[in-house]
Amino acid sequence: MAWEYTDKVKEFYRKPVNVGEIENPDAIGEVGSIVCGDALRLTLQVDKESEKIVDAKFQTFGCGSAIASSSVLTEMIKGKTLTEASKITNKEIAEELGGLPPEKMHCSVMGQEALEAAIANYRGESVPNGSPEEGHVVCHCFGVTDEKIVKAIRENGLTSVEQVTNYTKAGGGCGSCLDEIEAIVFKVLGQQREEQAAKQEQTPRRLTNLQKIKLIEETIEQEIRPELQKDGGDLQLMDVDGNQVMVSFKGQCRGCMAAGLTLSGVQDRLRKKVTPDLVVVEERAP
């Protein structure tokens, strides 16, 4: 299969910069393996006081995209502090090259992982998520863990097994892990939908005054009054002033010892259905 490469990818492949290894490096990041087809070793020289990356070199065993991604990464991080460099994503590596074919995005991921490993090495921290030390291996052909797959899905917005393969190589060998990868994709997408729904529920809706009043009226008429009427009680909406809702109890609810609890329940229901800023107060008839 022939892939379309940008001029910048070709340039960094044909004339890579920062190839080699720093003597007595301050940080080392190694990812992949020759057995799996791709391997990258990143070495850094770091200024101890400022934590700026003074120099960066790489050695890689891989395709032209791996060479180009590793080479451009070293240029991107030189002069940055470790904290600044840690924010670089695989997307930014690919963008710096003018883009990569979808099937070669795993090369940019490998660069990001090597940088994360090098920074962790410098700081004496544990290896980042997705390493063989965390999670269980899903793809034995390329040694890819479930943690690495989940991370790739979340950080890159992946929605299919094919995309997971492009970004991690998982499933690109014998194919025996494809069903498990698909299950992970569905699980993560389901979690993301739930997270988004929860976020939307927590975010107050921006309603106009007319929309708010209408929604209050509908909630009272369709959900609150029918429940109260079952026990001989009732409630009437008297007025709405900003976020204050004034109601009057009728029937068995009027003068009831549990009216305070009922009022609290009405407020909870309206806050959930309309906006969490509402305050419900009882307006007693003269």
Catalytic residues: 36, 107
Residue 172 and residue 165 in contact, taking contact as beta carbons nearer than 8 Å: yes
Cα–Cα dist 73/96, whole Å: 9
Cα–Cα dist 4/222, whole Å: 60
Amino acid in position 74:
T
Cα–Cα dist 269/243, whole Å: 14
Nearest to 104 by CA among 37, 20, 178, 19: 37
Radius of gyration of the chain (CA): 29
Cα of 87 vs its chain's centroid, Å:
14
CB-based burial, 121-146: b 16+ in 10 Å, e otherwise: bbeeeebbebbeeebeebbebbbbbb
Residue with tokens 């259905």: 273
DSSP state of 222: I
Kindly provide the residue ranges of all beta strands, DSSP E only, lying in the chain, ordered along the sequence. 27-33, 38-46, 53-61, 137-139, 144-145, 233-241, 244-251, 279-282
